[in-house]
Amino acid sequence: MKNNHSNIKKAKFFLNKKECIAIPTETVYGLAANAYSDKATSRIFKLKKRPKKNPLIVHYHNLKKLKKDCILNDNFFKLFKKFSPGPLTYVLKLKINNKISKNVTNKKKTLAVRFPENSLTRKLLKEIEYPLAAPSANISTKISPVCAEDVKDEFGKKIKFILNGGRSKIGLESTIVSLVNKPQILRLGGTTISSINKILKSNLKFNKKIKKIMVPGQGKVHYSPGIPIRLNANKPKPDEAFILIKKRKLSGKNIYYLSKTKNLKEAAKNLYKIIRMVKNKKFKKIAIEKIPNLGFGQAINDRLSRASKY
Ligand code: TXA
Ligand code: MG
């Protein structure tokens, strides 16, 4: 507790100096900086080697702060009430007099916003005067980090400070829903489409074509461990690590499983963790079993299909 207090103080110190730091969220760790500052946000792009045209998600503590920058609507309020704080990102219209740095939006008139649930990050957001722009804390196109050690694995000494909030409990990025006009799902993630449809009384589906235009960062190659991944595999070849959806009586140093009982939420939580582990064990290739395309399985399959385009 005392430790957390001094770590939040340190985090604030670096952020106030317009540095970027890593913050824990329930989805994945973020590389955070003052969203109102050109200098601070330009550092995010540099450290991540992220193309300038790819806009950032901005993290807020509460509605009062968000209202200063964005125009809110009924669909937003419905979803906010149910899912925030949590793994859902909303794309909203920016107010004309918003204070968001132009680096964040790539000249768009919209902003992606989120209210992370992790308690340390919420405390931090409460104590600072500005919201935090924070993409996932990985080098562009690579696998997102789900704990402080993963962030170190990505950036080494280049990162000034990591606020350690333990392991991310969701383990996959947030779902992105655009509420600018008619609601649209732009990215699958930690909130299922069916739970969003229930609240909006809608029948939204994930449409890859729309997403390509609206979400420039969701290019084909993404979430890549840097080694080939073979999908829908029945058994491994001799040089492959084999990732199973469910624990089975298979033994070998190359066997990993995503969940004990084929639980897709547990599998999502373990996905990046296991892929990073396999890569660090110097396997040259990965084979992975077919994952059911339901609920969290849809988000897992989306990430795997992009990771396999290496
Ligand atoms: O779970 C998450 O969302 C994590 C944690 C750290 O919050 N963040 C994250 O950020 O995944 P990032 O930058 O890795 O992915 C954000 C995606 C990008 O694909 C970007 O193109 C899209 O959001 N995006 C940002 N602003 C947008 C906007 N105004 N309209 C449409 N898409 C936008
Ligand atoms: Mg990312």
CA 259-122-23 angle, 5° bins: 65
Q: Is 145 in the pocket of ligand 1 (CB under 6 A)?
A: no
Q: Quick check: CB of 217 below 6 Å from ligand 1?
A: yes
Please tell me the distance between residue 100's alpha carbon and the centre of ligand 1 in angstroms.
15
> pTM for the full model?
0.96
CA-nearest residue, atom 3 of ligand 1: 174
CB 168 within 8 A of CB 146: yes
| Mean pLDDT of the chain, nearest integer | 94
Ligand 1 contacts CB of residue 136 (under 6 A): yes
Ligand 2 is an ion; residues with CB less than 5 A from it: 136
Q: How far is the CA of 242 from the centre of ligand 2 (A)?
A: 25
Evaluate: CB of 186 within 6 angstroms of ligand 1: yes
pLDDT of residue 13: 98
Closest CA to 188 of 59, 87, 79: 87
Q: If DSSP codes are grouped into helix, strand and coil, which group holds residue 194?
A: helix
Ligand 2 centroid, distance to 309 Cα (angstroms) = 16
Query: Of ligand 1's atoms, which has the minimum distance to the CA of residue 23?
Result: 6
218-230: pLDDT as tens digits: 566 788 899 999 9
> Which ligand gives the minimal distance to the CA of 189?
1
- Is residue 283 within 8 A of residue 272, CB to CB? The reply is no
- Ligand 1, pocket-test mutation among 29, 56, 57, most atoms within 8 A of CB: 57
13-42: per-residue pLDDT in tens? Answer: 999 999 999 999 999 999 999 999 999 999
CB of 88 closer than 6 angstroms to any ligand 1 atom:
no
Q: Which of 63, 209, 222 is nearest to 135 (CA)?
A: 222
Instruction: Return the half-sphere exposure (C-beta side, CA atoms, 13 A cut-off) of residue 121.
Output: 34
Bridging pattern class, strands 240-244 and 229-230:
unpaired
**pLDDT, tens only, 36-93:** 999 999 999 999 999 999 999 999 999 999 999 999 999 999 999 999 999 999 999 9
**Ligand 1: centre distance to CA 236 (Å):** 34
> Residue 259: CB within 6 Å of ligand 1?
no
